[in-house]
Amino acid sequence: MKKLVLVFILFSALGFAQQDSQYTQYMYNTINVNPAYAGSRGVLSIFGLHRSQWIGLDGAPTTNTLSVNTPLNRESLGLGVSVVNDRIGPTNETTVSTDLSYTIHTSESFKLSFGIKATANLFNLDVNKLDVKDQGDTQFQNMDGKFSPNIGAGIYWHSDKAYLGLSVPNFIETNRYNNEDVAIFKERINYYFIAGYVFTLDDLEYIKFKPALLTKLVQGAPLQVDVSGNFMFNDKFVVGVGYRWSASVSAMAGFQVTEGLYIGYGYDHETTRLQKFNSGSHEVFLRFDLFNSYRSITSPRFF
């Protein structure tokens, strides 16, 4: 049965369902979906994440992410570099992105950032992991190291307590493999909308609450809606829950270890029929901020 499920996963990975990497703690990993986020924290920010999806299922997705972003020119410009590696069954995909943002003040509290993204993608399919009946099938030949470039853009309106964002990380729909003009793998356009707000729940600002939203639209797949709510206590401890519409429920926790170091963990419980074949998904990340002279931060940022 697990082999049948693996076939389903591979079929999804090669054209129809989850294409861009999926994250439970998307509110901390905005740079991967919106290039306008680059430099918005006002510090040099280093972010690393590991996600193991559908534990116990052979060939299930594994994602590793490393990104660095920083403000330039006293925060009017931002620069980011990201590397994302996805492994799903016999496929191995690595994406390297460079992000550039430009920010203007729209009020005393809010800023509007515009961003562009340039991406290089390297896709591999290990044919040795497939049971190919017809060894002469041209669909399964010369599938190592297929390179494709792409470009994207986004806008990000934000303050220290709120944000809204719209983005398209990849504008080019790339047919990475063709067999007689039939796309075996097609990179489709993904549209993202993100939003969040931080509420202070007491006069001493000891307890803060942040609801957040991520919506993703891609042709050939259902609309993905992620909603979450996180509580922060004393600017140190974070706990929360999330829900991915018709897909999973999540629990999240985080701890501000030092002024610059934050560690977070997330767990997903599948609510689809796949829950019979796995024990959930785990996600852990580290974020390290190096404070610079452009901005004085008196308390940890919630996003």
CA 181 from chain center: how many Å? Answer: 31
Cβ atoms of residues 266 and 283 within 8 Å: yes
Backbone angles phi, psi at 21, to 5 degrees: -60, 145
Each residue of 101-129: pLDDT tens digit?
999 999 999 999 999 999 999 988 877 77
pLDDT at position 8, please? 47
Element (H, E) at 89: none
**Residue that wins the pLDDT comparison between 301 and 35:** 35
Instruction: Work out the burial of residue 19: count CB atoms within 10 Å of its CB; fewer than 13 is exposed, 13-18 middle, 19 or more buried.
Output: buried
Closest among 71, 69, 101, 63 to 82, alpha carbons compared: 69
Cα angle: 34, vertex 37, 38; to 5 degrees: 115
Each residue of 130-152: pLDDT tens digit?
666 655 555 555 566 788 899 99
Core vs surface per residue 269-290: b (16+ CB within 10 A) or e: ebeeebeebbebbebebebbbe
Q: Hey, how many other C-beta atoms are within 10 angstroms of the C-beta on 75?
A: 20
pLDDT at position 211, please? 97
Average pLDDT over residues 241-254: 96
Each residue of 179-216: pLDDT tens digit?
555 455 567 889 999 999 999 999 888 999 999 999 99
Cβ atoms of residues 176 and 188 within 8 Å: no
pLDDT at position 185, please? 58
For the whole prediction, is pTM greater than 0.85?
yes
d(CA 152, CA 121): 13
Specify the CATH superfamily of domain 18-131+142-177+184-290.
monomeric porin ompg (2.40.160.40)
Each residue of 160-182: pLDDT tens digit?
999 999 999 999 887 655 555 54
Query: Beta partners for 239?
Result: 231, 253
d(CA 159, CA 136): 58
DSSP string covering 227-266: EEEEEEETTTEEEEEEEETTTEEEEEEEEE-SSSEEEEEE
Instruction: Work out the burial of residue 181: count CB atoms within 10 Å of its CB; fewer than 13 is exposed, 13-18 middle, 19 or more buried.
Output: exposed
Cα–Cα distances in angstroms (integers) from residue 9 to residues 2, 21, 102, 109, 265, in the given order: 10, 14, 39, 45, 24
> Side chain identity at 173, as an amino acid letter?
E
Summary mean pLDDT of the chain: 85
